[in-house]
Amino acid sequence: MRPYAVWLSLGANLGDRAETIRAALRQIDTVTATRLVQVASFYETAPWGKLDQPGFINTAAEIETSLPLYDLLHAMQRIEQALGRVRHEHWGARTIDIDLLAAEGKTSDTAELRLPHPYLTERAFVLRPLLDIAPELVVAGRTVRDWWAEPAIQGQQISRAAEVSSPWPLQMIAAADEAGGIGLAGQLLVHAPEDMAHFKDLTLGHIVVMGRRTQQSLPGAAPLQGRINIVLSRTQGDIPGFSVCHSLTELWQLLGRLTLAQPQRKVWCIGGGEIYRLLLPYTEAIALTRLRGRYRADTFFPDITAQFREEVQTAGEAQTAVASFCRLVRRHGGQ
């Protein structure tokens, strides 16, 4: 089956709500023939339907899948069950709720699945996160942006969730030429002293996550000093000075322990191309060195045009003869 896009709504109001949603997103990304494309911010919302229960954290996600629609639905239900969802009460409190909202080129009208979701256009806690990632998605003849502007929707209480507004606080750092090239034969395209200094200034004292080839490209294949070094690889064995994670689940567990111990630590993804693509849905900001010109390259940075925007810089700031330095942040609210 040809891959198609599906938009999901996720919500939780019991236990560690934000971490439960993050756990659901990680499991969604491991479903057969399915990948996580992007995730909205987290929003704090009042309970819906049954009011005598805690508030919710809600978000939305876009995935791409080749699974038949009902197979996907059953996979989402298995994730709910694995994370402790028990369907005791309609609109009642729940550890996690994962709803299919809409699917590219597909509809359903059965007792098991109605698609598009019948309440999609009526609930701010569904529309506001969806506005982050799919403002032009058309539902019932109107875009998500248009539905969000309805007075009845604007009157519903919803706000960015303080302290937990990102699906995961990852940042990326990369140097790319004008064609998006970042590497050739496992090595950087250029070794510019100003870029090396910029990299060190941002990552020193923090956590760096890399793939196996990036680890092997480091000087002497040794860990970067003054940083916690993590390699994400399905097959790599132990490496002295590095923590090796063999799956996203292992990575999240390790990062959870490290950031809990020292919350001020930032988590930087430093490459290479496959790791950038894998972790992009969990990334809030990117420190990008734009190399002037084009180089021979066999590895490229993902296309981030639709998902990220460049922060405004002062004229002439962060410019050198070799490169310019910029910071890109995830678009929210259809920006």
CATH 3.40.430.10 fits 170-330, yes or no: yes
56: left (phi over 0), alpha (psi -120 to 50) or beta: beta
Q: Report the length, in residues, of the chain.
A: 335
Taking the whole predicted model, whether its pTM rises above 0.75 is answered as: no
Catalytic residues: 85, 94, 97, 99
The answer to whether domain 4-160 and domain 170-330 are alike in fold is no
In the predicted structure, residue 335 carries a pLDDT above the cut 80: no
pLDDT (tens digit per residue) in 88-107: 444 444 578 999 999 999 99
pLDDT (tens digit per residue) in 106-145: 999 999 999 999 999 999 999 999 999 999 999 999 999 9
In the predicted structure, residue 165 carries a pLDDT above the cut 50: no
Residue 15 pLDDT? 74
pLDDT (tens digit per residue) in 230-265: 999 999 999 999 999 998 878 877 887 887 778 788
Backbone angles phi, psi at 278, to 5 degrees: -65, -40
Q: Where are the domains of the chain?
A: 4-160, 170-330
Q: What would the 3-class secondary structure string for 26-65 be?
A: HHHCCCCCEEEEEECCCEEECCCCCCCCCCEEEEEEEEEE
Cβ neighbors of 152 (< 8 A, separation 6 or more) are 122
- Binning pLDDT at 50, 70 and 90, where does residue 47 land? low
How far apart CA 274 and CA 99 sit, in angstroms, is: 29
What is the 8-class DSSP label of residue 243? Answer: E
pLDDT (tens digit per residue) in 166-222: 556 689 999 999 999 999 998 889 888 999 999 999 999 999 999 999 999 999 999
How far apart CA 272 and CA 289 sit, in angstroms, is: 15
Residue 157 pLDDT? 80
* CATH architecture classification, 4-160: 2-Layer Sandwich (3.30)
**Between vectors from CA 174 to CA 261 and to CA 270, what angle results, nearest 5°?**
35
Backbone angles phi, psi at 310, to 5 degrees: -85, 135
